[in-house]
Structures are given as C-alpha cells and as structure tokens.
C-alpha cells in the first residue's frame, strides 16, 4: 500500500534536488523514500543536525563556564521576579 505526501519547498531547491537525483538515477519519489527508510532504520534524522552558536552566544557560554560577567540588570532575585511579572 502506498500513501501520498505533499510538501512545499522553494522552487529553486526543487529544481536543484531534481537535477542531482536525476544524475544519480533517481526521481524525487525514490530519493524521498530513501530518506524516510533511512530515518526509520536509524530512528532519527539520518544526518547530523546542529545549530552552531553565534559569536555572542559562544562568548556568553564561555563567560558562564568561567563564572565571568554574570551580573545582570537586576540586583536581586525579587527585582527579576517583579520584572517577569510586569
């Protein structure tokens, strides 16, 4: 039994992917089926998905690890809670 999946993608992306798959001897349906089968077999996305922190975030992480620059705009926990409730 087969089912239909409808997805929306950028037109240029579709063209580029179709050309690539064609060069590999695949059509879009076969390529998507390969992706889905691999995802099921590996029980996850079959490639690495990561989010690289930007420069500011990396600096904040380093500061937190080194316990630097931890002061903020609030002097006390009560000040912070009051601002969150506002």
Which residue has tokens 């349906």?
A: 29
- Tell me: the pLDDT tens digits for 44-55? 999 887 778 888
pLDDT score of 7: 95
* Domain ranges within the chain, ordered by starting residue: 1-49, 55-85
Q: Average the pLDDT over 47-76 and give the result.
A: 85
User: Which CATH number is 1-49's, of 3.40.50.10540, 1.10.1220.10, 3.10.180.10, 1.20.272.10?
Assistant: 1.10.1220.10
Which residues contact residue 30 at a Cβ distance below 8 angstroms, ignoring those fewer than 6 apart?
21
In SS3 terms, 69-84 reads as: CCCCCCCCHHHHHHHH
Angle at 61 between CA 59 and CA 66, to 5 degrees: 95
């Amino acid at each position: 039994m087969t089912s239909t999946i409808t997805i929306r993608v950028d037109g240029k992306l579709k063209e580029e992917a179709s050309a690539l798959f064609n060069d590999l001897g695949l059509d879009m349906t076969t390529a998507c089926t390969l992706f889905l089968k691999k995802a099921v077999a590996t029980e996850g996305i079959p490639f690495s998905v990561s989010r690289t922190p930007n420069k500011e975030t990396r600096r904040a992480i380093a500061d937190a690890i080194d316990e630097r620059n931890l002061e903020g705009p609030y002097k006390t926990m009560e000040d912070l809670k009051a601002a969150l409730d506002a």
